[in-house]
Structures are given as C-alpha cells and as structure tokens.
Structure 1
Amino acid sequence: MNRRDALRSLGALATLATVAPAGAREMHGVPLQTAQSADHLPRPIRFGGYQVITSEADRLTLTAVFDRLIPADEFGPSASQAGCLEFLDDQLAGDYGSGKALYLAQPLDPANEATIMGAPQFLSTPRERYSAGLKALQTYAIAVDGKAFHELSAERIDEVLTALEAGQLSLGADVNGQAFFELMLQNAREGYLADPIYGGNRDMAGWKMIGFPGARYDYRPYVDRRGEDLQLIPVSLIPQD
C-alpha cells in the first residue's frame, strides 16, 4: 500500500511551489472589509495533552496504523511525526467527534440505508467508532499474533490493514473493519494536509511535499503563470508576528 504516492498525486491539483525564498511579487494591504467575523475564524487546536485518545494503548495502536498509511521517507515525515494524532484527537473532542453533522437517530435499517447511500451507515459517532475500533484491533492482534498491535512488524501491520481495506478481516460484530480502515485513512490524510492551525501538517510538511502554497489571501498575481515554478513559501492560517 503506497499511501504516500496517493498523497503526492494531489500535487497535480496544486500550484507548483518550492520551499525556497519567495521569488514572486505578492499583494499586500488586505482590505479590512474582507476580514472574517470572530465566529467564522478557524479555531486553533487546544494543546496540552490528549482529550479523547487518552489511553496509551489506543495511541500506540493508532500511531502504528497512521505510520503505515503515511510512513516517513525521503519526501517527508510520517503521519504521527506530522501531528496527525494531535489533529485527530482535537477533531474527536469537538463537533466532528460527537457526530454533530450526522443523522444518528433511530429507526435505521442498516441494509436498506447501505443500499441507498452506497456505503455502510452508523448510529455511533466518530468518537465512539474510534474507541471501539482501536480496542478491537488490539484484541485481534493479541488473539492472533500474541502481542500488542504496535509491536507487530511493519509487514504484519500491512497485512492486517490490507485485509481490513478489502473487507476480509473481521474485528467482531460491533466493528465494521473495512469502514473503520476507511475512516482512519481519511483522517490521516486530513491531518497530513490540513492547515497547521488544526494541529497536523506540522511545519507544513504535507503542503511542501505536494507543492501547495497554502492559505494565501490573493492569487491574482499568479493566475496567468501556468507551469511556472513560483517559488512560493507555504503560508498557514496561524497568525504571524
């Protein structure tokens, strides 16, 4: 599973960039009328320890999974090194984790809903799904391999994740293994490519890898410069002094 290639392919959708000093002229003097109101400003991550993934066993299991989905190599750091666990924990502690945007009320016919929606539907929140899924992965590893999940070899972890992705490995009646794999993969990607203000994409490593110049106010100076290396340093939403 070459997940890093999947991430790098996103670079085709981004403006060409490098981490060299900026060489293109930028616009300054942003009109104050365009400023976001306080209730629409992005909420920075709350640092100071984990809020949801408080179990060390769960963190070790999730680190083992994320770092096989996005391993460290010559292109950049691994998912955990880039802050993807911190990103996910903060998301799970908020509206995403509580499923605020999801319809979670009964009645629900899982088979009927899955047919209509084209994917499994859940009454549990993302926070609950992670709690159950990580414990199920740990239970599986101990039962089958006789050791904790994070102690498995990289090759063995790949085997487990490949089987989960293909829907060929059962984590018990309460956990849809294939859907849980897809959830973890989605969140690992989000953490690696989201603005660093949310805790992941540390040092903008994900953006630098795919050549994305970040949250710039104005791209008008560059719209006609197709195929040109603009040498734009990525910019985050994190306020600069």
Structure 2
Amino acid sequence: MSDKESREVGTKSTRRNFLKNSGLTVGGLVLGGAVGSLFRQNPESGKKTEQTTQAPTANPNLALMFFYPGEYQTAMAAVERIFPKDELGPGAQELNAAIYIDHQLASQWGVNAKDYMLGPFHEPEPTQGEQIRILRKDLFRLGLKGLDDYSNKHYKKTFIDLEGSEQDEVLVAFEKGEADSLSGVSTADFFRLLRNLTIEGVYADPMYGGNKEMQGWKMRSFPGNKMSFTKEIQSKEFIQLEPSSLHDHMGHS
C-alpha cells in the first residue's frame, strides 16, 4: 500500500514533529502509513501462506516466543499505525517493534513477576499508577482479539483487512475507552500498553529484538549505548558518532 494515503482521523501529526518532540509519555496516534499482510491462513489447508513479508526466523533473537501467527499479524498492523513509515525513515513494522513486544510479553515482565498482584484493587486517583488485576500478557492478547471483534462489529472485516484510516478509527476508539471492555479492563489500558511498547520497540537496544539495525536511533542521531564518552567529552571538536548496540560491547573490557 502507498503510505501517502489520506489521513482522516483525529488531529494530524507528522513523524517530523514526533521525532523532535516525543517521549514515552506523549499520547495519541501518529497517523499515516500502512502495513502489508505478514501471514494469511489458507482456509482449505489450514496452513500459513506467505504474503508480503515473512516472520523473522533466521536470527534466533527474532523468533516468535509469545504470539501466535495471527496475533503477530494483528500486532504488526497496529504498531505500524502508531509509528508509520514516512519520508524520514522506516515504521514500526520494519523496525521489528512487534518482535520486541513479543519478547517482552514472553518474559517475566509479561507475567508481572515483580508487581504486587493481590487485592484489594481500588480505583486509582489520577496521580496514582494503574490498578489492573490482569497480567500484561493476558491484557495484550485480549486487546488484539478486541481489535478484531470491534472491527468485525463496525466494519465487517478483521483489523488487518481494514483500510489505514479505518484502522486509525478503531485505535482511536480504543484509546478513548469507547470500545467494549476487555474482561472488565478498559480498552484505553490496552492502547496505552500497546503504544508504550511500540515506542520502546522502535528505540530500545536492538539486542531486545526491535530497533532493527539501529535505524530508530539513526533517525534521532542517538549514538546508542557506549561504555564511555570520556574521549568525546574532552574533545574540543564535535565528534559524529555512529550508533552502537550493547551487543557490540559484549566481551570487551
């Protein structure tokens, strides 16, 4: 699909402003971009057939650990709408943000291993953190299913089969908490989790699965994780640094 398609939902925002101003706490969608189908299910054989892009498998760090193929497909479509490809660089799909999310949900973080998850649960004040009973991995799985349920109800299609502007409408409804709740949890909670993980997947160190080839860092001229910047700080001249990953420093003293 062309990533010049019309942006019809919400306040229009560009990647240029996003890259200049955004942090992990900035809310809302970055409209635009599109995503192709990664997997299709052959209804006759029950086997996956390849469409535009294969799921990464050559690199063990890119193998799926949590998502089923259909969930991965939906996640890829959703993250691309949040961080789309444009003239400034690749989108979340190409940057493997969904792989990052997959790995996080498969980890101890996905089961809230370090969180206190026993009651009582109270309605939090605006200044307090979330009080959600459901595990992150379960919330995300319910949220992906919810995207399809809402899409089928309002458009008679699954989320991945919607036009880009329609996908935006679905995500905006989730962001505002206007869709049906997910086992008692607001869709706004799922959207917040989806968006935060998407941005993390774009900018986290590549060793965690996302930020493919450090392209997310390159768009922001971020040098990555280095053991020391002493030499560069002491230099009287400006030094242009190429990004480097934590993986690049493994085995070095």
Establish whether TM, by shorter chain, passes 0.5: yes
- 2:169 maps to 159
Is 2:136 aligned against 1:126? yes
CA contact (8 A) 1:208 1:234 kept: yes
What's the secondary structure of 1:157's corresponding residue? helix
Aligned mate of 2:179, from 169, 185, 203: 169
CA contact (8 A) 2:175 2:192 kept: yes
TM-superposition CA deviations, 1:59-105 (whole Å, max 9, x none): 22211110011111122211121111111111111111111122111
- RMSD of aligned C-alpha atoms? 2.6
Code of the aligned partner of 1:95: Q
- 2:110 maps to 97
Code of the aligned partner of 2:228: D
Shift in alpha-carbon separation, 1:126–1:3, aligned structure 2, 3 A? farther
CA contact (8 A) 2:97 2:211 kept: yes
Shift in alpha-carbon separation, 1:219–1:239, aligned structure 2, 3 A? closer
- 1:238 maps to 247
Is 2:5 aligned against 1:2? no
For residues 37-76 of structure 1, the aligned pairs below 5 Å read 47=61, 49-54=63-68, 56-76=69-89
What's the secondary structure of 1:79's corresponding residue? coil
Distance, in Å, in 2 between the alignment partners of 1:81 and 1:64 is 11
Q: State the Cα distance separating 1:49 from its structure 2 match.
A: 3.2
Q: State the Cα distance separating 1:235 from its structure 2 match.
A: 0.7
So what's the TM-score if we normalise by structure 2? 0.72
Count of residues in Structure 1 that have an aligned counterpart in Structure 2: 203
- 1:36 maps to none
What's the secondary structure of 2:18's corresponding residue? helix
Which consecutive segments of 4 or more residues in structure 1 shift more than 4 A? none
Structure 1: any 5+ residue segments left out of the alignment?
Answer: 12-44
